[in-house]
Amino acid sequence: SSDVDAFLGCLYADIPPRLVHTPSTNNYSALLLSSVRNLRYVLPGTVRPLVIVAVTEPGHVQTTVLCGRRHSVRIRTRSGGHDYEGLSYASLDPHQRFAVLDLAELRAIHIDAARAEAWVGSGASLGELYYAVAAANRTLAFPAGSCPTVCFGGHLSGGGFGSLARKYGLSADNVLDAVVVDAQGRLLNRSTMGEDFFWAIRGGGGESFGVVVSWKVRLVRVPETVTVFGIRRFRNQSAIDLVTKWQDIAPFLPRDLYLRVLVQNPQADFVALFLGRCGRLFDIMRRRFPELGMTQADCQEISWVQSTIFIEFFTTDKPLEVLLDRSNKPDYYLKVKSDHVQEPIPRHAWESLWEKWLDEPGTPPIMLDPYGGRMGSISPSATPFPHRDYLYQLQIYSFWFENGTDALEKRISWVRGVHKELEPYVSKNPRAVYVNYRDLDLGTNELEGNVTSYDNAKVWGEKYFKGNFERLAGVKSRVDPDDFFRNEQSIPPLRAAK
Ligand code: FDA
């Protein structure tokens, strides 16, 4: 259409044409797929971007925002493409005309080891940062997620939970400054955007407020040598007893110890990272969780950066360079539901869950990640992420390789079924969900006039943000009153409230 031509013309005035990809250019499909992590959102019929702009400098972001506003083309920002519901590159609304701003090339990392700080581009992956931090200094680290291909842009703007959270909180708790392009195309930093805007992008989901170009973060201290273990217990041994018991123990362990569980038929895998040596870890485990039967032979003493590989791949045999591998060829379909747990789930509920849902071979993992420690001592309003006071988070994480609607329906209904089974035992009123584990089952936006409805959005919004939702909407009213940055679950402006 003429609007699209005008939009392209506007882009070409400032952005080299080789960075602007349309469905008629050669690299469009390869670029679109380059960081897709969920094949559900590239199925035929999915609404694809009119244009992908593979920016190489912040000025290109500013131009794309200004041209988009002028010519009525919306923008979805993609850093690492890991959004569980594909919101960074696909639209559920068949009428939405949008461009994707792909930030993969904005991934410079500058480490200041002496000050224990770093500037990191939104397109940098967690693995790239872990590698660079460790190369600069073996006793520095950054608290963030376990999957090395997840990128900064989405991860930090949604929170960022990982194996150092009990000691140092979320990634978002360790952000010192950020550079963003706002809805008027201005390039702002912490002092020019103001504290409310800066608060919102540390856990409120960046996509509603602007485009975060880079982040200044605080690096944290870790010992030169840390210890990891992975202990597998089968159902016919003691797995159910141990999982039940784990709930009373893991959230209350010393902050230096992170002990997660992956429950997947026929076993439960207990995976630990301890910021210290094997001897002390063994003492703690013997005193606090003797039932697990950990021995010193279970320990592997390694560097912190190696522990990031262990937690992701369950081995220490891979070279560090595996962290730099960004090649994320999409090969599976994904559906995840998550929740938070406040009271231990009783043994009989685990037993019946296992019997009804987990007994089939090949069922996906249920991942239990402990909170407590630093997580519990941060105020729920310090950042938009409010879920500080839980025992643990729980993810039902289904991925599958078979094509076709039968597989799709079967897998998705399995995930929903497991969640339903657990419903009596997990958070309620409102349910507590982490926005980085995006779940469109919670609800999607509707328009009122030409702005997203606040009342409607509250339904899903309070599940992600509790009391912080209203404040986020207030920030949105101020920084993007026209609701230019919108998607299926973007924060609406508050002024639309009735
Ligand atoms: P993507 O580019 O898809 O962005 C996600 C959302 O953020 C989109 O709405 C997008 O528009 C927006 N966005 C992206 N960049 C932006 C920017 N620069 N400015 C403004 N908005 C921006 N989480 C966790 O806490 N701990 C973990 O261990 C894991 N592990 C994990 C493994 C795997 C395999 C997946 C698929 C996901 C996770 N996650 C996770 C969830 C992950 O943190 C979440 O999906 C992040 O939002 C992904 O960020 P990306 O930039 O990669 O995604």
Q: Which residues contact residue 422 at a Cβ distance below 8 angstroms, ignoring those fewer than 6 apart?
A: 339, 345, 349, 353, 394
Q: Provide the residue type at 402 as one letter.
A: E
pLDDT tens digits along 356-368: 999 887 889 999 9
- CATH classification (class only), 109-221: alpha beta
Whether residue 1 has pLDDT greater than 90:
no
Of 40-44, 243-247, 288-292, 319-323, the one with minimum mean pLDDT is 40-44
Is domain 2-102 in CATH 3.40.640.10, yes or no?
Answer: no
Q: Best substitution site from 31, 52, 82 to test ligand 1's pocket, by max atoms within 8 Å of Cβ?
A: 82
In ligand 1, the atom with minimum distance to the C-alpha of 180 is 19
CA of 189 to the centre of ligand 1 (A): 22
Return the DSSP state at 333: E
Q: What is the mean pLDDT of the chain?
A: 96
33: burial class by Cβ within 10 Å (0-12, 13-18, 19+)? middle
In ligand 1, the atom with minimum distance to the C-alpha of 170 is 25
CA of 436 to the centre of ligand 1 (A): 6
Residues having CB closer than 6 A to ligand 1 are 37, 76-84, 87-88, 103, 122, 145-147, 150-151, 153-155, 157-162, 206-207, 211-212, 436
CA distance to 386, 396, 444, per residue, from 461 (Å): 12, 21, 10
- Ordered by start, the domain boundaries in the chain are 2-102, 109-221, 225-302+332-442, 443-496
Whether residue 315 has pLDDT greater than 50:
yes
Cα separation, 441 vs 410, in Å, equals 16
- Average confidence (pLDDT) over 425-432: 95
DSSP characters for 104-171? TT---EEEETTTTEEEEETT-BHHHHHHHHHHH-TTEE----S-TT-BHHHHHHH----TTHHHH--G
Whether residue 165 has pLDDT greater than 80:
yes
pLDDT tens digits along 295-307: 999 999 999 999 9
Residue pair 275/285 in contact (Cβ under 8 Å)? The answer is no
Task: Name the residue with the closest Cα to ligand 1, atom 8.
Answer: 88
pLDDT at 96: 87
- Average confidence (pLDDT) over 159-188: 98
Under CATH, what is the fold of the domain 225-302+332-442? Vanillyl-alcohol Oxidase; Chain A, domain 3 (3.40.462)
Q: Which residues contact residue 93 at a Cβ distance below 8 angstroms, ignoring those fewer than 6 apart?
A: 47, 488
CA of 426 to the centre of ligand 1 (A): 24
Q: If we measure between CA atoms, which residue out of 110, 121, 106, 113 comes closest to residue 156?
A: 121
Cα separation, 405 vs 246, in Å, equals 37
Integer-rounded Cα Rg, in Å, for the chain is: 22
Model confidence at 328, pLDDT cuts 50, 70, 90, reads: low
Q: Best substitution site from 91, 102, 147 to test ligand 1's pocket, by max atoms within 8 Å of Cβ?
A: 147
Whether residue 457 has pLDDT greater than 60:
yes
| Tokens encoding 119 | 């500037």
Whether residue 477 has pLDDT greater than 70:
yes
CA of 175 to the centre of ligand 1 (A): 16
In ligand 1, the atom with minimum distance to the C-alpha of 86 is 3
Q: Best substitution site from 74, 79, 308 to test ligand 1's pocket, by max atoms within 8 Å of Cβ?
A: 79
CA of 486 to the centre of ligand 1 (A): 16
pLDDT tens digits along 227-249: 999 999 999 889 999 999 999 99
Q: Provide the residue type at 426 as one letter.
A: V
Model confidence at 45, pLDDT cuts 50, 70, 90, reads: confident
Tokens 């960075």 belong to residue: 19
- Buried b or exposed e, range 300-316, using 16+ CB within 10 angstroms: bbbbbbbbbbbbbeeee
pLDDT at 360: 83
Q: Best substitution site from 57, 83, 92, 367 to test ligand 1's pocket, by max atoms within 8 Å of Cβ?
A: 83
Cα separation, 498 vs 486, in Å, equals 20
pLDDT tens digits along 362-406: 889 999 999 999 999 999 999 999 999 999 999 999 999 999 999
pLDDT tens digits along 103-158: 999 999 999 999 999 999 999 999 999 999 999 999 999 999 999 999 999 999 99
**Whole-complex ipTM:** 0.99
Model confidence at 496, pLDDT cuts 50, 70, 90, reads: very low
Task: Name the residue with the closest Cα to ligand 1, atom 34.
Answer: 147
Taking CB atoms within 8 Å and a gap of at least 24, the contacts of 293-298 are 293/231, 294/229, 294/231, 298/229, 298/230, 298/231
Look at residue 196 and give its three-state secondary structure: helix
Model confidence at 495, pLDDT cuts 50, 70, 90, reads: low
Q: Provide the residue type at 57 as one letter.
A: E
